Structure 1
Amino acid sequence: MKKITLVFLLIILATTSAQALSWAYPFVVWSGNVYEVTTEEVKNSVISKRIGEVKTKPNDTTGNYYGNASNEYPKGTQYFAISDISTDTAIAVRVKKEKYVKAVFVHKASSHWNPYYYFILFVVAVVLFSLLGKKRFH
């Protein structure tokens, strides 16, 4: 009986679990703001200047994102200002060549570090420690 219990315990510990977030709504992040993408189409006649694009995807496990991100649209999807509407209220997202949908402001984006910042911080720390080590022993 102990062998069966041990084998069962090892199987449970050895199996991996896959985790992925289920997002409440499709969103885009632009200029530190999170916008919920709606199904409301925006007419081409009120599309103003291009203001940005999706550059990153959120982490499906942690939910962390940084910069101009989207959980729904691929990198390169463009954002546009809408005439007579402040970008603090809404922006347009190009979903097809001549089709835009409205994305409405929900909240300020939480601040997450870009993973490259950790690498840069590590390199700076190594350089500082090596310089301090050389100075101390000379």
Structure 2
Amino acid sequence: MRPKISLIFVFFISSSLFVGVVSADWANMFVVNDGKIFVISEEHVAPKQIGLKIGKVTKYSDREGTYSGNFSNRYAKGTGYYEIIGIEVNEAIAIKDDKGLYIKSTYGGEYAGDRYNGIDFFPYVLAVLLVFISGYLLRKKINR
């Protein structure tokens, strides 16, 4: 019985080594704000047209997947989202880039993805399995 447990343990440890970061080519560069996708354009917005700050990037990822919060596949965590004076927030917003320029991003639809990606839970599942296997092996060793 012990060799089977050891093989299972080795399988889980080795399979966790193959979980890695995969970059993807997204169809568009975008930000998500309050469940809405805004596609990033190359159009700049003059600073005098910028209104209130309405949010910021809470997660950056270049991996295809679904994420919760205000995320982007272009801008780093903390990058600000702003109103554009005279344009409804549901139509377009401005993104302040790392050079201090404001870039127009237009509404591209509701974000339809799941809140969580299954791969996000893999480390937790692996940890729980390792705890159970370790507990089983320890109990078996004590009962000898």
Say whether the fold is shared (TM-score over 0.5).
yes
For residues 7-47 of structure 1, the C-alpha deviation after alignment (integer angstroms, 9 at most, x for no partner) is xxxxxxxx999743211111000011000000100000010
Map of 1:21 onto structure 2: 24
C-alpha separation in 2, matches of 1:48 and 1:16? 43
C-alpha separation in 2, matches of 1:16 and 1:81? 39
* Sequence identity (%): 31
- The partner residue of 2:54 within 34, 37, 51 is 51
C-alpha separation in 2, matches of 1:64 and 1:41? 28
Q: For the Cα contact (< 8 Å) 1:56–1:69, is it kept in 2?
A: yes
- The partner residue of 1:73 within 66, 75, 89 is 75
Change (3 A) 1:103 1:19: same
Alignment of 1:95-134 (within 5 A): 95-96=97-98, 98-114=100-116
**Residue segments in structure 1 that go unaligned for 5+ positions in a row:** 1-14, 120-138
For residues 42-94 of structure 1, the C-alpha deviation after alignment (integer angstroms, 9 at most, x for no partner) is 0000100000000012471x421211000000000000000010011000000
Change (3 A) 1:16 1:76: closer
User: How many matched pairs?
Assistant: 102
C-alpha separation in 2, matches of 1:31 and 1:84? 20
C-alpha separation in 2, matches of 1:32 and 1:16? 28
Q: Tell me the C-alpha RMSD between the 2 structures.
A: 2.7
C-alpha separation in 1, matches of 2:93 and 2:71? 14
Map of 1:10 onto structure 2: none
Q: How many Å apart are 1:111 and its aligned residue?
A: 4.1
- The partner residue of 1:88 within 87, 90, 104 is 90
Map of 1:39 onto structure 2: 42
TM-score normalised per structure 2:
0.62
